[in-house]
Protein backbone atom coordinates (compact mmCIF):
# COMPACT_ATOMS: atom_id res chain seq x y z
CA UNK A 1 0.00 0.00 0.00
CA UNK A 2 1.36 3.40 -0.94
CA UNK A 3 0.56 6.51 1.10
CA UNK A 4 2.31 9.11 -1.04
CA UNK A 5 5.86 10.32 -1.08
CA UNK A 6 7.29 12.11 1.92
CA UNK A 7 9.18 15.30 1.07
CA UNK A 8 11.33 15.78 4.18
CA UNK A 9 12.36 12.94 6.44
CA UNK A 10 14.52 12.50 9.51
CA UNK A 11 16.37 9.20 9.62
CA UNK A 12 17.63 7.88 12.97
CA UNK A 13 20.41 5.32 12.79
CA UNK A 14 21.82 3.78 15.95
CA UNK A 15 25.58 3.79 16.32
CA UNK A 16 25.43 0.01 16.41
CA UNK A 17 24.06 0.05 12.85
CA UNK A 18 27.54 1.13 11.74
CA UNK A 19 29.28 -1.72 13.57
CA UNK A 20 28.48 -4.51 11.12
CA UNK A 21 31.20 -7.15 11.27
CA UNK A 22 33.60 -4.79 13.09
CA UNK A 23 34.22 -5.46 16.82
CA UNK A 24 34.11 -1.76 17.59
CA UNK A 25 34.06 1.45 15.59
CA UNK A 26 32.75 1.54 12.03
CA UNK A 27 32.49 -1.10 9.29
CA UNK A 28 33.60 0.84 6.18
CA UNK A 29 31.73 -1.39 3.71
CA UNK A 30 28.51 -1.12 5.67
CA UNK A 31 28.88 2.65 5.98
CA UNK A 32 29.21 2.92 2.19
CA UNK A 33 26.07 0.77 1.72
CA UNK A 34 24.05 2.90 4.14
CA UNK A 35 25.30 6.08 2.44
CA UNK A 36 24.16 4.65 -0.91
CA UNK A 37 20.65 4.07 0.52
CA UNK A 38 20.50 7.69 1.70
CA UNK A 39 21.89 8.86 -1.66
CA UNK A 40 19.07 7.03 -3.48
CA UNK A 41 16.50 8.93 -1.39
CA UNK A 42 18.13 12.28 -2.17
CA UNK A 43 18.34 11.45 -5.88
CA UNK A 44 14.63 10.60 -5.72
CA UNK A 45 13.95 14.16 -4.52
CA UNK A 46 13.62 13.70 -0.74
CA UNK A 47 15.18 16.07 1.76
CA UNK A 48 17.01 13.99 4.35
CA UNK A 49 18.11 14.86 7.88
CA UNK A 50 20.12 12.23 9.71
CA UNK A 51 20.74 11.54 13.39
CA UNK A 52 23.31 8.85 14.18
CA UNK A 53 23.78 7.49 17.69
CA UNK A 54 27.10 6.78 19.35
CA UNK A 55 26.54 3.35 20.87
CA UNK A 56 29.24 1.71 18.73
CA UNK A 57 31.79 3.89 20.51
CA UNK A 58 30.55 5.22 23.88
CA UNK A 59 27.36 5.45 25.90
CA UNK A 60 27.22 7.62 29.01
CA UNK A 61 25.27 5.08 31.05
CA UNK A 62 27.82 2.35 30.27
CA UNK A 63 30.74 4.57 31.22
CA UNK A 64 28.94 5.61 34.44
CA UNK A 65 28.41 1.92 35.30
CA UNK A 66 32.21 1.63 35.28
CA UNK A 67 32.46 4.50 37.80
CA UNK A 68 32.79 7.53 35.53
CA UNK A 69 30.88 10.73 36.28
CA UNK A 70 27.63 10.46 34.26
CA UNK A 71 27.77 13.91 32.72
CA UNK A 72 31.36 13.32 31.54
CA UNK A 73 30.24 9.96 30.11
CA UNK A 74 27.34 11.59 28.27
CA UNK A 75 29.69 14.23 26.87
CA UNK A 76 31.88 11.42 25.53
CA UNK A 77 28.77 9.77 24.07
CA UNK A 78 27.79 13.01 22.33
CA UNK A 79 31.32 13.40 20.92
CA UNK A 80 31.07 9.80 19.67
CA UNK A 81 28.00 10.79 17.64
CA UNK A 82 30.05 13.58 16.06
CA UNK A 83 32.65 11.02 14.93
CA UNK A 84 29.96 8.81 13.40
CA UNK A 85 28.39 11.81 11.67
CA UNK A 86 31.76 12.85 10.21
CA UNK A 87 32.27 9.32 8.88
CA UNK A 88 28.83 9.36 7.27
CA UNK A 89 29.37 12.87 5.84
CA UNK A 90 32.54 11.56 4.19
CA UNK A 91 30.76 8.45 2.86
CA UNK A 92 27.88 10.53 1.49
CA UNK A 93 30.22 12.94 -0.28
CA UNK A 94 32.08 10.00 -1.82
CA UNK A 95 28.69 8.77 -3.03
CA UNK A 96 28.21 12.15 -4.72
CA UNK A 97 25.74 13.62 -2.21
CA UNK A 98 26.55 16.96 -0.54
CA UNK A 99 26.29 16.71 3.24
CA UNK A 100 26.83 18.93 6.28
CA UNK A 101 27.44 17.92 9.88
CA UNK A 102 25.79 20.33 12.33
CA UNK A 103 26.74 19.79 15.94
CA UNK A 104 24.70 20.67 19.02
CA UNK A 105 28.05 21.19 20.78
CA UNK A 106 30.39 23.80 19.33
CA UNK A 107 33.39 22.28 17.54
CA UNK A 108 33.92 25.04 15.00
CA UNK A 109 37.08 23.67 13.44
CA UNK A 110 35.38 20.37 12.64
CA UNK A 111 31.80 21.15 11.61
CA UNK A 112 29.05 23.74 11.70
CA UNK A 113 27.12 24.49 14.85
CA UNK A 114 23.41 23.63 14.78
CA UNK A 115 21.13 26.35 13.52
CA UNK A 116 17.60 25.46 12.54
CA UNK A 117 17.43 28.12 9.82
CA UNK A 118 20.68 27.04 8.20
CA UNK A 119 19.71 23.38 8.50
CA UNK A 120 16.49 23.99 6.59
CA UNK A 121 18.39 25.99 3.97
CA UNK A 122 20.85 23.09 3.50
CA UNK A 123 17.96 20.67 3.11
CA UNK A 124 16.29 22.90 0.51
CA UNK A 125 19.55 22.92 -1.45
CA UNK A 126 19.62 19.11 -1.54
CA UNK A 127 22.25 18.62 1.15
CA UNK A 128 21.89 15.88 3.73
CA UNK A 129 22.11 17.40 7.20
CA UNK A 130 23.71 15.24 9.88
CA UNK A 131 22.56 16.44 13.29
CA UNK A 132 25.41 15.49 15.61
CA UNK A 133 26.04 15.63 19.36
CA UNK A 134 22.43 14.70 20.15
CA UNK A 135 20.52 17.45 21.91
CA UNK A 136 23.75 18.88 23.32
CA UNK A 137 22.60 17.98 26.84
CA UNK A 138 23.50 15.06 29.10
CA UNK A 139 20.79 12.60 30.25
CA UNK A 140 19.18 12.57 26.81
CA UNK A 141 19.46 10.05 23.98
CA UNK A 142 19.86 10.38 20.25
CA UNK A 143 16.29 9.06 19.86
CA UNK A 144 15.15 12.20 21.67
CA UNK A 145 17.48 14.28 19.49
CA UNK A 146 15.92 12.68 16.40
CA UNK A 147 12.36 13.59 17.47
CA UNK A 148 13.46 17.08 18.49
CA UNK A 149 15.18 17.78 15.16
CA UNK A 150 12.30 16.17 13.24
CA UNK A 151 9.90 18.60 14.93
CA UNK A 152 12.24 21.57 14.40
CA UNK A 153 12.77 21.00 10.67
CA UNK A 154 9.12 20.10 10.11
CA UNK A 155 9.89 16.56 8.91
CA UNK A 156 6.80 14.77 7.64
CA UNK A 157 8.22 11.36 8.61
CA UNK A 158 10.65 10.06 11.20
CA UNK A 159 12.30 6.78 10.22
CA UNK A 160 13.96 4.65 12.85
CA UNK A 161 16.24 2.12 11.23
CA UNK A 162 16.84 -0.97 13.35
CA UNK A 163 18.26 -4.48 13.10
CA UNK A 164 14.77 -6.05 13.07
CA UNK A 165 11.79 -5.67 10.71
CA UNK A 166 9.69 -3.36 12.88
CA UNK A 167 7.92 -3.23 16.24
CA UNK A 168 7.42 -6.40 18.26
CA UNK A 169 5.83 -7.10 21.66
CA UNK A 170 9.20 -8.57 22.75
CA UNK A 171 12.72 -8.94 21.36
CA UNK A 172 12.16 -11.21 18.32
CA UNK A 173 15.82 -12.32 18.41
CA UNK A 174 15.24 -13.86 21.87
CA UNK A 175 11.51 -14.63 21.83
CA UNK A 176 10.18 -16.29 18.64
CA UNK A 177 6.61 -15.86 20.00
CA UNK A 178 6.94 -12.05 19.92
CA UNK A 179 3.98 -10.40 18.19
CA UNK A 180 4.60 -8.07 15.23
CA UNK A 181 2.78 -4.72 15.08
CA UNK A 182 2.12 -3.40 11.58
CA UNK A 183 0.40 -0.25 12.85
CA UNK A 184 0.19 1.09 16.35
CA UNK A 185 -0.61 4.43 18.03
CA UNK A 186 1.79 6.37 20.24
CA UNK A 187 -0.64 5.88 23.13
CA UNK A 188 -0.36 2.12 22.78
CA UNK A 189 3.43 2.28 22.51
CA UNK A 190 3.44 4.18 25.82
CA UNK A 191 0.82 2.01 27.55
CA UNK A 192 2.38 -1.31 26.55
CA UNK A 193 5.93 0.02 26.94
CA UNK A 194 6.84 -1.22 23.50
CA UNK A 195 10.58 -0.77 23.08
CA UNK A 196 10.46 1.59 20.10
CA UNK A 197 12.22 4.69 21.41
CA UNK A 198 12.57 6.15 24.90
CA UNK A 199 9.52 7.84 26.43
CA UNK A 200 10.80 11.40 25.92
CA UNK A 201 11.21 10.76 22.19
CA UNK A 202 7.81 9.07 21.87
CA UNK A 203 5.96 11.87 23.70
CA UNK A 204 7.61 14.54 21.53
CA UNK A 205 6.56 12.74 18.32
CA UNK A 206 3.05 12.19 19.65
CA UNK A 207 2.59 15.80 20.70
CA UNK A 208 3.84 17.13 17.37
CA UNK A 209 1.94 14.65 15.22
CA UNK A 210 5.02 13.16 13.54
CA UNK A 211 4.49 9.64 12.14
CA UNK A 212 7.26 7.15 12.86
CA UNK A 213 8.24 4.30 10.55
CA UNK A 214 10.34 1.55 12.15
CA UNK A 215 12.15 -0.69 9.66
CA UNK A 216 15.13 -2.92 9.05
CA UNK A 217 18.08 -0.94 7.72
CA UNK A 218 19.71 -4.08 6.36
CA UNK A 219 16.85 -4.69 3.89
CA UNK A 220 18.15 -3.26 0.60
CA UNK A 221 15.93 -0.46 -0.69
CA UNK A 222 13.90 -0.25 2.54
CA UNK A 223 14.63 3.44 3.08
CA UNK A 224 13.60 4.45 -0.44
CA UNK A 225 10.39 2.44 -0.01
CA UNK A 226 9.64 4.10 3.34
CA UNK A 227 10.10 7.54 1.77
CA UNK A 228 7.85 6.53 -1.13
CA UNK A 229 5.14 5.78 1.45
CA UNK A 230 5.27 1.99 1.11
CA UNK A 231 3.85 0.12 4.07
CA UNK A 232 7.20 -1.42 5.02
CA UNK A 233 8.05 -2.35 8.62
CA UNK A 234 5.81 -0.81 11.31
CA UNK A 235 4.10 2.56 11.47
CA UNK A 236 3.44 4.48 14.69
CA UNK A 237 0.59 6.90 14.11
CA UNK A 238 -0.04 10.10 16.08
N1 LIG B 1 23.89 11.57 24.55
C2 LIG B 1 23.62 12.62 25.40
N3 LIG B 1 22.69 13.54 25.04
C4 LIG B 1 22.00 13.48 23.88
C5 LIG B 1 22.26 12.39 23.02
C6 LIG B 1 23.20 11.45 23.38
O7 LIG B 1 24.20 12.73 26.47
O8 LIG B 1 21.17 14.37 23.59
C9 LIG B 1 24.97 10.62 24.90
C10 LIG B 1 24.50 9.52 25.83
O11 LIG B 1 25.57 9.21 26.70
C12 LIG B 1 24.27 8.37 24.87
C13 LIG B 1 25.37 8.57 23.86
O14 LIG B 1 25.45 9.98 23.72
O15 LIG B 1 24.37 7.11 25.50
C16 LIG B 1 25.16 7.92 22.52
O17 LIG B 1 23.84 8.11 22.10
P18 LIG B 1 22.77 6.90 22.07
O19 LIG B 1 22.96 6.00 23.24
O20 LIG B 1 21.43 7.49 21.87
O21 LIG B 1 23.25 6.15 20.73
P22 LIG B 1 22.62 4.87 19.99
O23 LIG B 1 22.10 3.93 21.05
O24 LIG B 1 21.53 5.36 19.11
O25 LIG B 1 23.78 4.32 19.21
**Which residue has a Cα nearest atom 22 of ligand 1?**
53
Q: What pLDDT, on the 0 to 100 scale, is given for residue 4?
A: 60
Confidence grade of residue 74 (pLDDT, cut at 50, 70, 90): very high
Q: Are 88 and 53 in contact (CB under 8 A)?
A: no
Q: How far is the CA of 113 from the centre of ligand 1 (A)?
A: 18
**Which residue has a Cα nearest atom 16 of ligand 1?**
54
pLDDT beyond 50 at 57: yes
Q: What pLDDT, on the 0 to 100 scale, is given for residue 110?
A: 98
The residue to mutate among 16, 71, 142, 159, having the most atoms of ligand 1 within 8 angstroms of its beta carbon, is 142
Q: What pLDDT, on the 0 to 100 scale, is given for residue 1?
A: 41
Confidence grade of residue 195 (pLDDT, cut at 50, 70, 90): confident
pLDDT (mean) for 165-190: 93
pLDDT digits (tens, 9 = 90+) for 111-127: 999 999 999 999 999 99
pLDDT beyond 60 at 100: yes
53 close to ligand 1 (CB < 6 Angstrom) = yes
Q: How far is the CA of 117 from the centre of ligand 1 (A)?
A: 24
pLDDT beyond 70 at 28: yes
Residues of 45-75 as b/e, b for ≥16 C-beta within 10 angstroms?
A: ebbbbbbbbbbbbbbbeebeeeeeeeeebbb
pLDDT beyond 90 at 24: no
59 close to ligand 1 (CB < 6 Angstrom) = yes
pLDDT (mean) for 64-75: 98
84 close to ligand 1 (CB < 6 Angstrom) = no
Within 10 Å of residue 231's Cβ, how many Cβ atoms? 14
Q: What is the mean pLDDT of the chain?
A: 95
pLDDT (mean) for 95-101: 97
Q: What pLDDT, on the 0 to 100 scale, is given for residue 5?
A: 86
pLDDT digits (tens, 9 = 90+) for 144-168: 999 999 999 999 999 999 888 999 9
Domains parsed from the chain with CATH numbers:
8-162+224-233 (3.40.1160.10)
Q: How far is the CA of 22 from the centre of ligand 1 (A)?
A: 20
DSSP output for the chain: -B----SEEEEEE-GGGGTTT-SSS--HHHHHHHHHHHHHHHHTT-EEEEEE--TTT--HHHHHHTT--HHHHHHHHHHHHHHHHHHHHHHHHHTT--EEEEESS--TTTSEEP-HHHHHHHHHTT-EEEEESTTSSTT--HHHHHHHHHHHHT-SEEEEEESSSSEESS-TTT-TTPPEESEEEHHHHHHTT-SSS-HHHHHHHHHTT--EEEEETTSTTHHHHHHTTB--SEEEE-
* ipTM of the prediction: 0.99
pLDDT beyond 60 at 17: yes
pLDDT beyond 80 at 2: no
Amino acid sequence: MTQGTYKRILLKLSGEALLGQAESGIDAGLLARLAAEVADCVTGGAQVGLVIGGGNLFRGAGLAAGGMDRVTGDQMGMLATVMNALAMQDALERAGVPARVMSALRIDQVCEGFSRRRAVEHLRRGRVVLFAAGTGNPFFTTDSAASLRAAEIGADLLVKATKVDGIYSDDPMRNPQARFYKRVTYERVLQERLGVMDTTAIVLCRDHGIPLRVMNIYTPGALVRAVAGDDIGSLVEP
